[in-house]
A = this chain, B = another copy of it.
Amino acid sequence: MYNKSQLKEIIEKAISGLRYETEAEKLTEPVKYVLSIGGKRVRPLLTLMTCNLFSDKIDEAIMPATGIEVFHNFTLVHDDIMDNAPVRRGLPTVFKKWDLNQAVLSGDVMAFIANDCFLQAPANSISSVLRIYNKAAIEVCMGQQQDMDFETATAITQDAYLRMIELKTAVLIASAARIGAVIGGAMDQDSDLIYEFGRSLGLAFQLQDDLLDVYGDYKVFGKIQGGDILANKKTYLYVIASEKANKVQLNKLRKLFTTKEIDPDKKVREVMGLYDELNIKDPAESLIRKYFDKAFECLDNTAVHAGRKDELTAMASSLIGRGN
């Protein structure tokens, strides 16, 4: 069994080892830039760990794992255009460091570099791996569309919100996990359980992210408290607050999320006041717990010796801030 830090090293090596065609250097400079910034590499780690769950040999999962990370970064490059975002992970976005055209085109080529990675899957699983990946890729686009649609929507139901984050975030995590399992030789039932594990984990992870924006220790999580509120982002907190609010509270909430003439600190304070008044922290935490428990139930049910699950359990826990 590999431990997390060994797997992280394998992934970093695979990413920095990607060879790019050199006939247009300006095309691949932003690709190298984005991929070198790093991050937690959650998705490729999951792929390698789920592969390792079913097989001692993980070599054949390395390039597909890398493909998932390249795709994920492709979505970030294009999302930053759509969000007009100047900074990501503390550094200028491609869109800002270069320009719009470069972000469109260098993003595009990443989608094909990702394909290339998946085409290096073992011959007998190329088709299934590509099918799992490509279904997720289309769903991620759908999730991004729904997220954009929500910006101008007046009312968003909990179900609609959960489906959006499922598409935008959870299905890729689920597919990263399933691809590893498939390459590791998992049978269909285990592959389904691993997908469901990843999906539930992804949902818990995104909801936790929504919660931490307001209730997290911003010194620990490295984000500005209320960043989503300041960006008028309709997160799960906003959605349940809208559902629980009376008419007066709802008007106040909506006004706070549309007005531009308010001091940022005051805005965050007032929205947080409303959230507290409506007691939305509890239902949010309980839903996160529900998905988190569901994820572990699925992992428990896979036909794999419990001892093999330790690394995956530890990583999943740390992802939700419940481990180390």
A residues sitting closer than 8 Å to B (CB atoms) are 21, 23-24, 26-27, 78, 81-82, 100-101, 104-105, 107-109, 111-113, 115-116, 119, 123, 126-127, 130-131, 134, 137-139, 141-146, 148-149, 163, 167
> Do A24 and B119 have beta carbons less than 8 Å apart?
no
Residues of B within 8 Å of A105, CB to CB, are 78, 82, 141, 144-145, 148
Residues in B with CB closer than 8 Å to A145 are: 24, 26-27, 105
From B81, B109, B148, A141 is in contact (CB under 8 Å) with: B109
Subset of 30 A-B contacts with CB under 8 Å: A21-B138, A21-B142, A24-B141, A24-B143, A24-B146, A24-B149, A26-B148, A27-B141, A78-B105, A81-B100, A81-B101, A82-B101, A82-B104, A100-B100, A105-B144, A105-B145, A107-B108, A108-B141, A109-B141, A109-B142, A112-B137, A112-B138, A115-B130, A115-B137, A119-B131, A119-B134, A123-B127, A126-B126, A127-B127, A130-B130
Q: Which 9 A-B residue pairs are closest in the complex by CB-CB distance?
A: A24-B145, A27-B145, A109-B141, A24-B142, A112-B137, A82-B101, A115-B134, A112-B138, A111-B111
